[in-house]
Amino acid sequence: MLEFIVVFVVWAVGHSLTADGRVKTAVRARIGERAYTGLYRLGYNLFSLLSIVPVLLVLAWRVPDTVLWRMPAPYAWLAMVVQLLGFAGLLAALLQTDVWEFVGLRQAVNYWRGAAHLLPPPRLVTTGMYALVRHPLYFFSLLILWPAPVLTLQTLIFNLMATLYLWAGSRVEERRLTAVFGTEYEAYRQDVPGLLPMRGWKRVNH
């Protein structure tokens, strides 16, 4: 179990460093503004995807697959419904943004085509799922992770570490968005909760 925690922390630190503004500034200075805008996001996502593989392998090999609980029906069905809602909410939140820009493909394609403008000006999304919480991708990920009909020790350890990482990631994202949007984001932050929808339900349909 200790091996997994160590590997996960190393992955999380590496993932966070590549998202850190100071690292981005250094990379931008090294490769130039155009190459940074066109390629960094895609490279960041590919690094995150490939580097999580050894973490999952260590989880499977070194953490016992002991069953901690198994929900009986109908509670198991209810848990699966909540998870499906999590998937639906995650998809809806993704579709509110430019998915191709989110994964980095749009700017990479524009870069290789030699387009004059790689990305449109940034815009702050505050409607739909983003009126429920400021970080709907993280919130709905938690809805997928935790209502597990069958919870094993592997699942519990992974969920705890992932939850901690999502919380930390939301803090980093807050600083980035404040730097980009300034007072507009501060006003949005005052009106809408961050990670859990404790208030602001009335804005969902606005």
Q: What does the pLDDT look like over 102-127, one tens digit per residue?
A: 899 999 999 999 988 888 888 999 99
What pLDDT sits at residue 199? 66
Segment 10-19, tens digit of pLDDT: 888 888 888 8
Closest-CA residue to 75 (of 139, 145, 147): 147
Segment 24-56, tens digit of pLDDT: 899 999 999 999 999 999 999 999 889 989 999
What pLDDT sits at residue 68? 94
What is the pLDDT averaged over residues 71-78? 93
Give the length of the chain.
206
Does the structure show a pLDDT above 60 at 187? yes
What is the pLDDT averaged over residues 183-195? 94
Distances (CA, A) of 28 to 23, 100, 177: 9, 21, 18
Q: Residue 200 — very low, low, confident or very high, per pLDDT cuts 50/70/90?
A: very low
For residue 67, which phi and psi values (nearest 5 degrees)?
-80, 120
The residue ranking higher by pLDDT, 126 or 205, is 126
Does the structure show a pLDDT above 60 at 201? no
